[in-house]
């Protein structure tokens, strides 16, 4: 059996304490906030998207557990410089990734297979990203 706390030791604790991508983003072009009613956690994602549809900057505000914060931090790292369409597709695929589907190749998400009760914590930032991008495209349309 794999150690369910390995993910904490390897990634979660360090990234949950990183402040590299935390806070607001005055230049944000879109934002969204999602809430997990099960635990009361809240995540806000702010994105700066340029005219070419590239995410040029990202920040998050989190009131939540170490997993949600760490995933938000690692997600920010991954999406900056990516096209909106790419980030949208990752947001959708994150749901399957936490059940072990390795299409994305994001180790932090597939490692959630060991912590089934906490998958929602891991996908909350990715869902919030999806909501922010959705908000941006509806505003354009």
Q: Which residues bind other proteins (CB under 8 A)?
A: 3-5, 8-9, 13, 38-41, 63-67, 115, 117-118, 121
Give all strands (DSSP E) within 5-118, no chain letters. Answer: 30-36, 41-49, 55-63
**Closest CB to other proteins among residues 16, 76:** 16
Closest separation in Å from C-beta 104 to other proteins: 23
Which tokens belong to 99?
A: 């059940």
Whether 120 and 43 have beta carbons less than 8 Å apart is answered as no
**Closest CB to other proteins among residues 42, 89:** 42
Q: In this structure, what are the phi and psi dihedrals at residue 127, rounded to the nearest 5 degrees?
A: -65, -40
Residue owning tokens 């990183």 = 18
For residue 81, give the 3-state DSSP assignment.
coil
Closest separation in Å from C-beta 44 to other proteins: 15
**Closest CB to other proteins among residues 11, 87:** 11
Closest separation in Å from C-beta 56 to other proteins: 31
**Closest CB to other proteins among residues 14, 92:** 14
| Contact partners, residue 9, CB within 8 Å, separation at least 6 | none
Closest separation in Å from C-beta 72 to other proteins: 13
């Amino acid at each position: 059996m794999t150690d369910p706390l390995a993910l904490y030791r390897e990634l979660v604790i360090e990234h949950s304490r990183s402040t590299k991508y935390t806070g607001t983003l005055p230049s944000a072009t879109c934002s969204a906030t999602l809430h997990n009613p099960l635990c009361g956690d809240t995540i806000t994602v702010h994105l700066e998207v340029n005219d070419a549809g590239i995410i040029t900057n990202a920040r998050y505000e989190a009131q939540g557990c170490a997993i949600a914060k760490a995933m938000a931090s690692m997600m920010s790292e991954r999406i900056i410089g990516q096209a909106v369409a790419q980030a949208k597709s990752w947001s959708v695929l994150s749901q399957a990734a936490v059940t072990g589907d390795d299409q994305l190749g994001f180790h932090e998400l597939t490692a959630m297979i060991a912590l089934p009760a906490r998958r929602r914590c891991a996908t909350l930032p990715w869902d919030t990203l999806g909501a922010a991008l959705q908000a941006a495209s509806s505003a354009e349309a």
